[in-house]
A and B are shown apart, each in its own frame.
Chain A
Amino acid sequence: MKIAVCIKQVPDTTDVKIDPKTNTLIREGVTSICNPFDEYAIEEALLLREKHGGEVHVITMGPPQAIEVLKNALAVGADRVYLVSDKAFAGSDTLATAYALSKTIQKIGEVDLVICGKQAIDGDTAQVGPGVATRLGIPQLTYVSKIREINLEKKKIIVERLLEHGREVVESSLPALLTVVKDINEPRLPSLLGIKKAAKAQIPTLTAKDIGADENRIGLKGSPTWVVKVFSPEARGGSGEMLKGELTEIVPLLVNKLMDTKFIK
């Protein structure tokens, strides 16, 4: 079974803080990590390979330093990794990014399954997965919390999708694209041998030309949306009220305050 996994390098938001004076993001010392949801995507691909055999191909699109997340993917056991990187991709929005990723997957060829994280924690759009599926012309199964069954002969897959009100069990034809949520597995840690191997690995960089991308569909040129302004969110209205005193006084006071809001019915 041939599986492609799309991952993204993102800033670790544990480090992202707002400067209380200037109210801007403090970027200093912010480390880059693999998007947490994508680690579940890689793990699910590795688990499927263990069960059904095959290859796991991991792709990331980003600046040259995004190579780090690919090294991690190699260290946990990915067979092949690809860095899709080119100045021509700069300014790509979700439509252009999905296009570039789909061209890369087509170049890899003959893929049975594509797995992505539910969304990336920096942009939080959840749009690239459906975009890639649509470009590839394959069905999408989003918010997957469990793969119940895969039948490669009959080319079908049954998954559980975690929705607002419960879990939907869906059958789909293969090839298909899944986006996965955190509940699906427990990502493994890389082995020492894996880390050593990854450190030595030569990671191929694919340019826009390499993947055969139409220059009108990538970068700023291929992006319908355009960020016109970036600003800090309004802070919550002042600092909160600490209720002090004996609990026998605080509790009725808090209940009064909450009852006054009329939100409790």
Chain B
Amino acid sequence: MARLLIDKDTCTGCESCIPACPFGALSMKEGVAVVDEKCTFCGACVDVCPVRAITLEKEEKAATIDLSAYKDVWIFIEHEFGKVSNVSFELLGEGRKLADAVGSKLCGMLLGDKESVDQFAKEAIAYGAEKVYVMESPLLKQYRTDSYARAAVDLIRKYKPEIVLFGATTQGRDFAGTVATTLETGLTADCTGLDIDPETKYLRQTRPAFGGNIMATILDYPNYRPQMATVRPKVFSMPPRDDSRKGEIIRETLQMTEDQVRTTILEFIKGAETVNLVDAEIIVSGGRGVGGPDGFKPIRELAGVLNAAVGASRAAVDSGWIPYEHQVGQTGRTVRPKIYIACGISGSIQHQAGMKTSDIIVAINKDPEAPIFKIATYGVVGDLFTVLPLLTQEFKKRLGR
């Protein structure tokens, strides 16, 4: 067991450590800091103690596996509706840097039927993969947890990558959780930063927690490999495509039959919107200030001119003005567009958790005290029903639409 040790004689009772604990595990008792069972041994308090009264005793975990057997950085090439997801290409771009830092090869892992793997393996190479490990089967035509997890587990067990990265999409998160559990290895969710520790060459994975209020950097113990992570879309930029690149394709066939797959996809009901929130470069969002379902009309008009997706705050969704799939925030979707235009949204912590990493935030609100202005790049105090039509008109004029 690990232990957090607080030296009672050294502790001055300054209380610096108390707010530093993300889990609220520290408190003061008789003038010195004490720790309770909420402690997760993250070590956040160790660094802030001005008198070094806190030490963390970690159990030494020696490597019990042959680490040198694990090589290369693998990127899961996710595809849906006959198209590779952009996040997979973004990860090939970032994966290149990681592979160079550990001195290994950058590879794609591609699962699908014949038609899709033939096409997408070439694309993975064009975006930087030196090798593509392919599992081909009609059972892999569409993503299903059972067949995909089996395929990935078989490939990973056979070829032993050191690092495997997935997009943190609904598919990637459904998939990676199953693969990591089957392999009994570590998985870090929803990363926004990746780098290689220069000394140990281990993967350092950085991710937001507590609705983005804190960031945590996570490592995998050396007796678990591969190191796996899901990574948020749009964090890394797309690498250039070069169709003249050459790469090796390694093909395997899936040893599985349809009756071993426990789910069947009956149909897919496409969303009513032409632009979806997760892929959108621009989002126009409405909150309590829109006042009713009709209040989304000026929002949709501006979104139409900008080819933007329509978002909403929880207040608007819970009032029944717009369906849940539009909700941005902690209990809705997390988005990262280039431009987020918040209209009549006050900007609660929960809403911010879903959108504050947008490149540019424009806030339009009647209340000059609304918290949204604190994170906005540009703020306009005014009634959205006056401001939006003017904005729509001006964009139409400039864009000639």
Tell me whether B181 and A251 are in contact (CB under 8 A): no
Does A79 lie at the interface of the complex (its beta carbon under 8 Å from any beta carbon of B)? no
Tell me whether A264 and B22 are in contact (CB under 8 A): no
Tell me whether B218 and A263 are in contact (CB under 8 A): no
Tell me whether A16 and B374 are in contact (CB under 8 A): no
Does A219 lie at the interface of the complex (its beta carbon under 8 Å from any beta carbon of B)? yes
User: Which residues of A have CB within 8 Å of B398?
Assistant: 255, 259
Does B20 lie at the interface of the complex (its beta carbon under 8 Å from any beta carbon of A)? yes
Does A233 lie at the interface of the complex (its beta carbon under 8 Å from any beta carbon of B)? yes
Tell me whether B373 and A18 are in contact (CB under 8 A): no
Does A127 lie at the interface of the complex (its beta carbon under 8 Å from any beta carbon of B)? yes
Interface residues of B in 281-300 (CB under 8 A from A): 281-282
Residue of A nearest to B37 (CB): A63
Tell me whether B43 and A228 are in contact (CB under 8 A): yes
User: Which residues of B have CB within 8 Å of A122?
Assistant: 209-210
User: Which residues of A have CB within 8 Å of B80?
Assistant: 165
Does A193 lie at the interface of the complex (its beta carbon under 8 Å from any beta carbon of B)? no
User: Which residues of B have CB within 8 Å of A30?
Assistant: 24
User: Which residues of A have CB within 8 Å of B362?
Assistant: 254, 258
Does A201 lie at the interface of the complex (its beta carbon under 8 Å from any beta carbon of B)? no
**Interface size in chain B (residues, C-beta < 8 A):** 114
Tell me whether B306 and A22 are in contact (CB under 8 A): no
Which of A18, A125, A160, A220 is the one whose CB lies under 8 Å from B1?
A: A220
Q: What's the Cα separation between A22 and B16 when bound, in Å?
A: 10
Q: What's the Cα separation between A168 and B209 when bound, in Å?
A: 29
Tell me whether A124 and B218 are in contact (CB under 8 A): no
User: Which residues of A have CB within 8 Å of B58?
Assistant: 220
With contacts A134-B178, A166-B268, A169-B267 taken as known, whether A26 is within 8 angstroms of B386 at the C-beta atoms is no
Which of A16, A91, A129 is the one whose CB lies under 8 Å from B210?
A: A16
User: Which residues of A have CB within 8 Å of B374?
Assistant: 239-240
Tell me whether B37 and A87 are in contact (CB under 8 A): yes
User: Which residues of A have CB within 8 Å of B349?
Assistant: 13-14, 16-17
Residue of B nearest to A181 (CB): B324
Q: What's the Cα separation between A10 and B191 when bound, in Å?
A: 21
Does A205 lie at the interface of the complex (its beta carbon under 8 Å from any beta carbon of B)? no
Tell me whether A130 and B221 are in contact (CB under 8 A): no
Stretch binding the partner chain, chosen from A46-54, A69-77, A140-148: A140-148
Q: What's the Cα separation between A158 and B263 when bound, in Å?
A: 9
Tell me whether A134 and B216 are in contact (CB under 8 A): no
User: Which residues of B have CB within 8 Å of A11?
Assistant: 24, 210
User: Which residues of A have CB within 8 Å of B277?
Assistant: 164
Does A183 lie at the interface of the complex (its beta carbon under 8 Å from any beta carbon of B)? yes
Which of A87, A130, A169, A264 is the one whose CB lies under 8 Å from B177?
A: A130
Does B304 lie at the interface of the complex (its beta carbon under 8 Å from any beta carbon of A)? no
Q: What's the Cα separation between A161 and B395 when bound, in Å?
A: 37
Which of B212, B282, B391 is the one whose CB lies under 8 Å from A254?
A: B391
With contacts A134-B177, A263-B281 taken as known, whether A13 is within 8 angstroms of B210 at the C-beta atoms is yes
Does A236 lie at the interface of the complex (its beta carbon under 8 Å from any beta carbon of B)? yes
User: Which residues of A have CB within 8 Å of B149?
Assistant: 134
With contacts A18-B213, A142-B174, A227-B40 taken as known, whether A25 is within 8 angstroms of B348 at the C-beta atoms is no
Q: What's the Cα separation between A30 and B349 when bound, in Å?
A: 14
Shortest Cβ distance from residue B371 to the other chain A in the assembled complex, whole angstroms: 11
Q: What's the Cα separation between A231 and B207 when bound, in Å?
A: 10
Shortest Cβ distance from residue A162 to the other chain B in the assembled complex, whole angstroms: 6
Q: What's the Cα separation between A250 and B190 when bound, in Å?
A: 38
8 closest pairs, A vs B, by CB?
Answer: A130-B177, A224-B186, A224-B224, A125-B189, A263-B338, A134-B181, A183-B324, A230-B44
In the complex, 24 of the A-B residue pairs with CB atoms within 8 angstroms, ordered by the A residue number, are: A13-B330, A30-B24, A64-B37, A88-B1, A90-B1, A91-B40, A134-B182, A140-B174, A164-B169, A168-B269, A170-B264, A182-B331, A227-B41, A227-B42, A232-B213, A239-B374, A244-B381, A247-B386, A247-B387, A254-B378, A255-B395, A261-B359, A261-B360, A264-B339
Chain A residues engaging chain B, CB cutoff 8 angstroms: 11, 13-14, 16-19, 22, 24-28, 30, 36-37, 63-64, 87-88, 90-91, 93-95, 98, 121-127, 129-131, 133-135, 139-143, 145, 158, 160-173, 176, 181-183, 219-221, 223-233, 236, 239-244, 247-248, 250-252, 254-255, 257-259, 261, 263-265
